[in-house]
């Protein structure tokens, strides 16, 4: 694939070479591997576990900011909290744009997703609309449905513990659909969940740098799909209807429910009601559609991966599980947790934060989807960073910074505690949700869902090693697939109710 790209790109890159020589900065670029003429660092770029290689380069060149150039495209990787804060937060006005993926934004139709929208008026309007629903105060509107779906996870685990990975994905996706659109979710095979899975799989494929040549040479988007080498165009023509379907169908279903007077309170219903406009001619229809769409897309993908990591961590660390259960038993007594319990369960909350830190879902914040683009030339620590550079944080490296997280490879929730409470020094810089003006506005909602699912599971179940046919323990083999996101490779464990009282609590929750 890369060889084909090189051959096609040579003529374009050669024409750029003179421009780059003319624009040679007076300051040096940040350090990085030297590279080669024309192709730059193309052959230096790691194909897997890039975050590890970028930290190695950071150590090799004794710099927390690394520069590479791939076929004329400058890339800057930030490997420390200081560099990330100085550039992506303090100078966020310069670093808040997004790189444009021709395949993702244009051909597949994801361009209006707020996460991908270029910095400007359209992005600000959608960001403002999303924040109205998902700021900490208004997040209280979502908690009844979040609570119901966390109880649904318990019921599913009781009925079918072996399917725990599926139950995690299904219940969290279901809660997003109910909260966002006010729609009921079928117990299994819900069409809106299947719709999201299909479209998001295509998004993840398109978001991996190098998968499609049209992202290197955007002019190829104009060639017909039948031409040799245009398989990306044929793929886009097949896949784009799934993107459109995911964006429009649940929105239209939610609107139909509201017209029939059957709609439940939701992000959609509240958004349409603002300003007293008629549902048939709402001036902000496209903004509302994009606001609900980004919630639908974001919540269906990342939170299930973190919750899966929690199950793996409890399997590997039964002593941490027992300590959390002791805290739950002492405070809750014979009942299930509710959101008002969050301040009183610091160790359980620390487990949630450690699950986010230990194996970050997006170790690089994922270039294309969550990277930043510099809108004008900048200087930092004596280095020149050119306009148009793609800049992203090495989230994995930040979460292994020994200053904040000693013994970083170990799963140790206590690192987030000080005098028995959450240490704000560690809570504030947790980087999983982005930076600056592009920080995820749904982070409070996401952490609410994660906490309630974790607390509820620990209060009712023991997670332990699976048994083989002869009753012997099966040693866990926890591995991750380093693709677009860090997916856990399915693993086996035993999930059993802690007591008869726990079973009764779960069954009584069906009356909620």
Q: pLDDT of 91-148, one tens digit each?
A: 999 999 998 888 888 999 998 888 888 999 999 999 999 999 999 988 889 999 999 9
Q: 398 vs 240, 391, 416, 476, CA distance in Å? A: 36, 15, 15, 27
Q: What is the pTM of this model?
A: 0.90
First CA to last CA across the chain, in angstroms?
A: 54
Q: pLDDT of 8-47, one tens digit each?
A: 444 444 444 444 444 455 899 999 999 899 889 988 888 7
Q: Distance between CA 146 and CA 168 in Å, rounded?
A: 13
Strand partners, 44: none
Determine which of 7-11, 56-60, 135-139, 264-268 has the lowest per-residue pLDDT on average.
7-11
Is pLDDT at 209 greater than 90 in this prediction? no
pLDDT in the model for residue 361: 86
Q: Are 45 and 32 in contact (CB under 8 A)?
A: no
96: tokens are: 């808040």
Angle between helices 191-206 and 231-259 (to 10 degrees): 150
Residues whose CB is less than 8 angstroms from the CB of residue 10 and which lie 6 or more positions away in sequence, other chains included: 38
Q: Are 390 and 370 in contact (CB under 8 A)?
A: no
Residue 473, φ and ψ in degrees, nearest 5: -60, 140
**H/E element, 74:** strand 73-78
CA-based nearest residue to 105, from 117, 97, 121:
117
Strand partners, 496: 462
Q: Distance between CA 138 and CA 354 in Å, rounded?
A: 26
Across 232-241, 322-331, 420-429, which has the greatest mean pLDDT? 322-331
Q: Are 444 and 135 in contact (CB under 8 A)?
A: yes
CA-based nearest residue to 202, from 244, 161, 173, 160:
244
Q: 156 vs 116, 159, 312, 462, 498, CA distance in Å? A: 35, 5, 18, 15, 15
């Amino acid at each position: 694939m890369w060889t084909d790209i090189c051959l096609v790109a040579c003529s374009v890159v050669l024409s750029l070479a003179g421009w780059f020589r003319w624009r040679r900065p007076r300051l040096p670029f940040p350090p990085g591997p030297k590279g080669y003429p024309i192709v730059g660092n193309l052959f230096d770029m790691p194909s897997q576990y890039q975050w590890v290689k970028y930290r190695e380069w950071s150590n090799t060149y004794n710099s927390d900011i690394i520069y590479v150039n791939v076929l004329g495209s400058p890339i800057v990787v930030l490997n420390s909290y200081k560099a990330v804060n100085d550039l992506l937060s303090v100078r966020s006005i310069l670093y808040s744009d997004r790189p444009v993926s021709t395949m993702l934004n244009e051909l597949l139709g994801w361009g209006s997703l707020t996460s991908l929208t270029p910095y400007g008026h359209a992005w600000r309007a959608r960001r403002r609309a999303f924040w109205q629903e998902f700021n900490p105060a208004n997040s209280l509107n979502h908690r009844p449905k979040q609570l119901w779906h966390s109880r649904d996870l318990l019921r599913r685990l009781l009925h079918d513990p072996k399917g725990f990975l599926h139950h995690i994905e299904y219940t969290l996706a279901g809660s997003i659909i109910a909260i966002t659109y006010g729609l009921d979710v079928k117990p299994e095979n819900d069409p809106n969940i299947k719709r999201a899975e299909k479209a998001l799989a295509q998004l993840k494929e398109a978001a991996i740098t190098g998968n499609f040549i049209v992202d290197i040479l955007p002019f190829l988007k104009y060639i017909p799909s039948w031409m040799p080498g245009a398989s990306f165009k044929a793929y886009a023509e097949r896949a784009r209807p799934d993107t459109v379907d995911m964006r429009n169908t649940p929105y239209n279903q939610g609107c139909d429910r509201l017209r029939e007077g059957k709609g439940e309170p939701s992000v959609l219903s509240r958004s349409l009601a603002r300003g007293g406009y008629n549902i048939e001619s709402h001036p902000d229809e496209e903004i509302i559609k994009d606001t609900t769409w980004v919630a639908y897309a974001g919540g269906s993908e990342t939170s299930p991966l973190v919750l899966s990591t929690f199950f793996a961590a409890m399997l590997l660390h039964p002593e941490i599980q027992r300590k959390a259960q002791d805290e739950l038993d002492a405070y809750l007594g014979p009942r299930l947790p509710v959101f008002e319990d969050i301040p009183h369960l610091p160790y359980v909350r620390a487990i949630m934060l450690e699950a986010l830190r230990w194996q970050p879902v997006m170790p690089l914040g994922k270039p294309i989807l969550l990277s930043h683009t510099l809108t004008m030339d900048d200087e930092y620590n004596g280095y020149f960073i050119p306009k148009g550079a793609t800049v992203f944080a090495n989230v994995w490296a930040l979460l292994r910074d020994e200053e904040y997280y000693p013994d970083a490879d170990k799963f140790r929730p206590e690192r987030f505690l000080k005098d028995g409470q959450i240490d704000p020094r560690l809570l504030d810089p947790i980087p999983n949700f982005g930076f600056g003006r592009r920080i995820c506005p749904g982070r409070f909602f996401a952490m609410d869902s994660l906490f309630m699912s974790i607390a509820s599971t620990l209060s009712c179940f023991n997670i332990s090693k699976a048994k083989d046919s002869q009753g012997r323990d099966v040693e866990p083999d926890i591995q991750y697939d380093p693709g677009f996101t860090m997916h856990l490779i399915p693993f086996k464990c035993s999930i059993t109710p802690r007591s008869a009282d726990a079973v009764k609590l779960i069954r009584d929750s069906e009356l909620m």
